Amino acid sequence: MLRSRVIPCLLIQDKGLVKTVNFKNSKYVGDPINAVKIFNEKQVDELIILDIDATINGVDPDYQAIEYLANESRMPLCYGGGVKTAEQAKKIIQLGVEKVAVSSLAILNPNVLIEIERLIGRQSIIVVLDVKKTFFGTYDIYINNGKTKIKRKLEDVLEELENIGVGEFVINSIDNDGVMKGYDMVLAKKVRGLISTPLTILGGAGSFDDIVELVNEFKIIGASAGSLFVFKGVYKAVLISYLTEAVLKKIQLISNKF
């Protein structure tokens, strides 16, 4: 039965699992493989793993690490970081990953997505757009871990990429990253009104109620979070967790109304 997906998002830096706040001050929180093992036990819907330094450092995807993660994962896995060519995307899929995420590539060389679609299928292409709210209430797109602002409107980029054909958009709020005070619902509503492609919202979830609120508003949507699933309590002790059965049932009931 169709329902909104709830997706932990793990960030990789120097082969370790890290968490950031507003894309800054990365904090080491453990071993990615151990996190995957725990999420396996908790039977999560899906997992997003992003190597946040691969593209900015100009390195290729770490295929050995990807293979280890894919072999360990018993849930659908999306991997992003360092993808510059269709052949690289194909190799990642061949290692056992279900979806390949791209960000800078989709902005700087979107036509490569056409070739990626030919090789791995539209459903396996995920575009991650990192956005930040402006003083005027609009949203700018950034690449390179939030360091480079793109001089194009969010609306235009979404339209172009949807016309090219991607399987899903992940909209990541830089302002809300790691803050744990709730999703940017205005941003989610704006993007949902612009596209018909499957959508996942990332950045800001600090409680299960935040996820329920997002699902209640949009019914069938991806709700992704990082800090919520790796930290516990006000002092942010590292503890890998997932939704309770009660919350999962609530999300299912809401989705069923769609």
Q: Which CATH architecture has domain 5-256?
A: Alpha-Beta Barrel (3.20)
CB 156 within 8 A of CB 129: no
Q: Return the closest-CA partner of residue 175 out of 232, 130, 126.
A: 130
Q: Could you confirm whether 45 is annotated as catalytic?
A: no
Q: Note the pTM of the prediction, 2 decimals.
A: 0.96
What is the arithmetic mean of pLDDT over 117-130? Answer: 97
Instruction: Convert the pLDDT of each residue in 59-78 to its tens digit.
Output: 999 999 999 999 999 999 99
pLDDT, position 233: 82
Residue 80 above 90 pLDDT? yes
pLDDT, position 258: 64
Average pLDDT over the chain, rounded to whole?
Answer: 95
Domain ranges within the chain, ordered by starting residue = 5-256
Lowest average pLDDT, out of 27-31, 239-243, 254-258, goes to: 254-258
Which of 51, 130, 184, 210 is an active site residue? Answer: 130
160 φ, ψ to 5°? -60, -45
What is the arithmetic mean of pLDDT over 16-23? Answer: 96
Q: Rounded to an integer, what is the distance from CA 198 to the centroid of its chain? A: 12
Find residue 143's DSSP bridge partners: 148
Both structure tokens of 194: 């612009």
Instruction: Convert the pLDDT of each residue in 183-228 to its tens digit.
Output: 999 999 999 999 999 999 999 999 999 999 999 999 899 999 999 9
For the chain, how big is the Rg over CA atoms in Å?
17
